[in-house]
Structure 1
């Protein structure tokens, strides 16, 4: 059961990244729209969805606190600087989506049109770098506790994780924003060209991630398999996109974002917080909550999570359709 709760925490984070990759991507792609109508349309496409997507992050944080309380404290301590940066980017991204239309002035809109792509880029790259650093293992502070140093977050493997998250999100955003657009519009042409470039770039990045991950982690085979499988799914997504099955391509296109938290578990197993020195590591058996707390979570959290999944499916069916974007 300990592994079940750890896997469920990871599943919630993977779900958040998979869904939010669309929001990250659309936010980063906003400068491609050269008209106010195009920018407004891209924003309207994600506004009904992003708060529902963020429920997964809230659920992740809540379950992490309830099921793995010691891990949450250690992670917040080790990742305090990147966590502050991610929270700041999160607040700014949401503010840009909400406040862009709160004032009619052109300068007001242009200011938020800068904040939105920059904060979306920081969110995507930040999550990718943090998860890759956790996959490789953190440094150890002088007091024996794990800490994410600049060297950890700027290591080539961490930068690869950031690149995979950014390119994967850009591809998701281009697929999502391009649905329902007339093929002869300038924005549709730009998004189509970008998608044709991003797919092979993403495949190369995943292949390099598999190769580098096999040399810098303690589970080279597992890490390589996860990255290669993600690449295979992306390739299938590209074939579906070429066949005009954009929705199916969008679903499969989330694979690189899902792979990032999976890599942490594949590389470290039940070591829920790994360090390269071996000092300050945290194992699942020590991080898991007591049986009484887990029993309470079983009867309270699991029904809530089922309701969240059902609600998410309904929201995407209603607000995520291409015809909704076209008529909004």
Structure 2
């Protein structure tokens, strides 16, 4: 059962990244919408959805605290600087979505139109770099404690993972914006996003191939990393064929593969080591991080039904609000 809780925590994080990739991508696409009306329509595609998507991050943090309390503390210490950066970008991104339309001033809106794509880019790249660093294993400080050093986050493998999340998010955002009719296809912005979407598929596949290649040299489970990256690349290619045949929803579902792949890489590379380091010092094993059996039983009776309700609510929200937007 210990593995079940660890896998469920990872699944919640993967679900957050898969859903939020659309929000990240639409945010980064805002500069393509030159006119005020186009920017407003693009923003409205994700405003009804982004809070519901963020529930999965809250659920991830809550379950991490309940099921793996020691891991949460160690992880917060090891990743304290990137977490502060991600939280800052998260708050500013949400503020941009909420506050852009709260004031009619042109300068006010232009300011938030800069904040939204920048913070969306930082969130996508930041999550990719953090997960890439965890796949390789963290550094240790003088006390033997795991820490995410700058060399971990700026290592070529971590940067490749960051590039995968950025390009994958742009692709998902462009596909979703096209499905929602955010920008007229016969206009310059809509045509530009369409061309970008077609370009992003081979770029994303190439990035996944490079990730597999570098991972084969610099990770503890080269075959597993290569297989996961290859599966994600095949799914992206399948997404492109589905998109070409007009099946947008299945294309979006296949397009989440890169965001599922990164948490999976962490698990298959390190197994029961839930906080890995490259030196082996300060590592934390699952058996030492898991909560006691009484706490896990309580979680099974409370958290699991709540997660099921959240999943059902998420499906309803997407069915109701993820539709073509209408001009105003």
Question: Smaller-chain TM-score range?
Answer: over 0.9
Q: Could you tell me how far apart the structure 2 residues matched to 1:11 and 1:265 are?
A: 11
SS in 1 for 2:274: strand
SS in 2 for 1:326: coil
Alpha-carbon shift at residue 183 of structure 1 (Å): 2.6
Q: Could you tell me how far apart the structure 2 residues matched to 1:318 and 1:327 are?
A: 17
**Which among 197, 201, 208 is matched to residue 206 of structure 1?**
208
Q: Could you tell me how far apart the structure 2 residues matched to 1:37 and 1:257 are?
A: 31
SS in 2 for 1:206: helix
Cα deviation digits, residues 124-160 of structure 1 (max 9, x gap): 0000000000000000111111000000000000000
Corresponding position of 1:18: 18
SS in 1 for 2:49: helix
Corresponding position of 2:236: 234
**Which among 294, 301, 322 is matched to residue 299 of structure 1?**
301
Contact 2:131 / 2:161 at 8 angstroms: preserved in 1? yes
Corresponding position of 1:266: 268
Corresponding position of 2:258: 256
**Residue 174 of structure 2 corresponds to residue 174 of structure 1:** yes
Q: Could you tell me how far apart the structure 2 residues matched to 1:38 and 1:239 are?
A: 28
Greater CA drift, 208-217 or 88-97: 208-217
Q: How does 1:34-53 map to 2 (within 5 A)?
A: 34-53=34-53
Corresponding position of 1:98: 98
Corresponding position of 2:247: 245
Corresponding position of 1:122: 122
Corresponding position of 1:89: 89
Unaligned runs of 5+ in 2: none
Q: How does 1:55-204 map to 2 (within 5 A)?
A: 55-179=55-179, 180=181, 181-204=183-206
Q: Could you tell me how far apart the structure 1 residues matched to 2:124 and 2:131 are?
A: 11
Q: Could you tell me how far apart the structure 1 residues matched to 2:313 and 2:239 are?
A: 25
Contact 2:12 / 2:57 at 8 angstroms: preserved in 1? yes
Unaligned runs of 5+ in 1: none
Q: Could you tell me how far apart the structure 2 residues matched to 1:271 and 1:36 are?
A: 50
Structure 1 residue runs of 4 or more that deviate by more than 2 Å after TM superposition: 180-183
**Residue 316 of structure 2 corresponds to residue 311 of structure 1:** no
Q: Could you tell me how far apart the structure 2 residues matched to 1:305 and 1:185 are?
A: 42
SS in 2 for 1:272: strand
TM score, norm. by length of structure 2: 0.98
Alpha-carbon shift at residue 185 of structure 1 (Å): 2.0
Query: RMSD between aligned alpha carbons?
Result: 0.9
Contact 2:42 / 2:177 at 8 angstroms: preserved in 1? yes
Q: Could you tell me how far apart the structure 1 residues matched to 2:142 and 2:257 are?
A: 37
Q: Could you tell me how far apart the structure 2 residues matched to 1:238 and 1:196 are?
A: 8
Alpha-carbon shift at residue 14 of structure 1 (Å): 0.3
Contact 2:174 / 2:197 at 8 angstroms: preserved in 1? yes
Q: Could you tell me how far apart the structure 2 residues matched to 1:288 and 1:270 are?
A: 11
Q: Could you tell me how far apart the structure 1 residues matched to 2:185 and 2:93 are?
A: 29
Greater CA drift, 134-143 or 240-249: 240-249
Q: Give the length in aligned residue pairs.
A: 326
Alpha-carbon shift at residue 326 of structure 1 (Å): 3.1
Alpha-carbon shift at residue 327 of structure 1 (Å): 5.2
Q: Could you tell me how far apart the structure 2 residues matched to 1:185 and 1:11 are?
A: 39
